[in-house]
Chains A and B, each alone.
Chain A
């Protein structure tokens, strides 16, 4: 049935508004990153008067951006891989087995979503310092501590979503594998995991973005050598002179990989959410 004009016009208005709203900062980011310094220090202009790519070279010298980049990659990448593996094991246990304490586990894991980060920031800091003092394992100020922290941030949502996803995979599949002589772990990796690829990709995307974007713990738990992009980018903005063109160029550089990856994988995300979280 053809949609009436009233609907088509409403749709046009709403979609245009939302597209402009969504992309406005992206336009500012891109255009300002191509402006010379005197241009971004004065009045804002929609069209840059002179184009320059100099900010893209300067950003690496103003702050050690490359090092922050590597730190972020290591921290977010490791946290993602570990978080996905741990979530797959947990969700498999909950989805396929009956055992005492199952409800306690799911409820506890879910309710940690509710905790204000600020509530456990200081205690966690103290625990990390104490572990360091008594065992010599440096968690405070190291990438390891941040990895541990971040992987638990995405864990509750990942477990919750994968339970839903695994439930939607017919049990006959892995039961057949058990009959054919697979162990439970074999059945998980040969049957359940391959069938759950969209859900697992969705969870991995979520975990990576959580770790890549976190600010609070990154500010408190890192030192000069382990600083991530989340803290490093503030380096441009808190100096006496704010190099807005460099801030924008650096923001763009740290955003491009993650936005590109996300857009490539967004189909999986919707598929994963449909089967996992939204039922």
Chain B
């Protein structure tokens, strides 16, 4: 991933610099301070970030893992150390797919997978299409670029509340268009409850997500050298061929990081379903984050909720690792 590349090239650079640190000329003298002179400075600079990450992310995560092995219910909220150990019981409950809790978790997991697949796929597709179509300069380009970024800039809750209004059965825009104006549906449909809710959720999520893809791809496009297009143009390649042979292959590393980031955000997304549906999502759109929230805070079973969270984290770790492995192998293959 990008981070790895960055660190590696850095290490190289600092090696180069330190190796010629003790030159004679005045201008060369101190260069970058060597290890002894720099002392604890880098650590001092990192200290605030490390402390905050520990307090807000790492320690809570460790507590979360510990809690998943305890019988942690509302009775122990003021004395969480006192909750009895329960071994893998919480995990057994979470993955017992024949019992109600496990079955609901599996269902929610599958719903989240389908949702993520479509939401990420469409957001990525729209973002790439928009960025490529705006690559050339033409009148109105800057204006369109600003418009495309509006969904990204709007605060989630304001935007999603507006979508919730648009999806209202009796006074919403969607049913007005589909039923009253186009006559596609026999009667006004429910969008925020029942079977259609997954569609509503995907649409809102794509609307919210594609501008980010657009932004990243647009930044990536600026790194493609103009000469490539000029050379291709001289060789007689039309614009479609240029997109296929130059633009898309050049975007590959950007796309790999982008898809991974979109995947992680979408899979973990809480804000969109929570504002769209409220605390209890319809069964058909019961995303895993809402489901775990429900299991922990509404049914007050924090132990099982924590076990579910840990399982979710493990799943994300495995997917990320596999994804990074596949994409880095692909890159090596392309280089060879």
Contacts and interface: CB of A to CB of B under 8 A. Distances in A.
Interface residues of B, number: 121
B325 interface: no
Contact of A229 (B55, B57, B157, B238): B157
Given A32-B165, A43-B170, A263-B153, A93 B46 contact: yes
B143 to A, nearest CB: 9
Given A149-B56, A213-B157, A126 B63 contact: yes
Given A120-B61, A215-B157, A274 B2 contact: no
Given A119-B309, A123-B61, A247-B165, A14 B130 contact: yes
B309 A118 contact: yes
Contacts of A109: 49, 53
A25 B180 contact: no
Interface in B203-253: 207, 210-211, 215-216, 218-220, 222-223, 233, 238-240
Given A40-B171, A109-B49, A273-B216, 18 more contacts: A4-B239, A14-B130, A22-B148, A28-B165, A41-B171, A44-B171, A93-B41, A94-B42, A94-B46, A112-B58, A116-B316, A148-B56, A230-B155, A233-B161, A251-B161, A270-B222, A277-B257, A279-B6
Interface of B: 1-3, 5-7, 9-11, 13-15, 17-18, 26-27, 29-33, 35, 38, 41-43, 45-46, 48-50, 52-53, 55-61, 63-64, 67, 77, 80, 126, 129-130, 133-134, 136, 144-159, 161-166, 168, 170-173, 175-176, 180, 207, 210-211, 215-216, 218-220, 222-223, 233, 238-240, 254, 257, 261, 264, 268, 270-271, 274-275, 278, 288-289, 292-293, 296-297, 302, 305-306, 309-310, 312-313, 316-317, 320
The 5 closest A-B pairs by CB, nearest first: A120-B60, A123-B60, A251-B158, A262-B153, A93-B45
Interface of A: 1, 3-4, 6-7, 10-11, 14-15, 18-19, 21-26, 28-29, 32, 40-45, 86-87, 89-90, 92-99, 102-103, 105-110, 112-124, 126-127, 148-149, 151-152, 155, 159-160, 163-164, 167, 171, 175, 178-179, 184, 209, 212-216, 220, 229-230, 233-234, 237-238, 244, 247-248, 250-252, 254-255, 258-259, 262-263, 266, 269-270, 273-274, 277-279
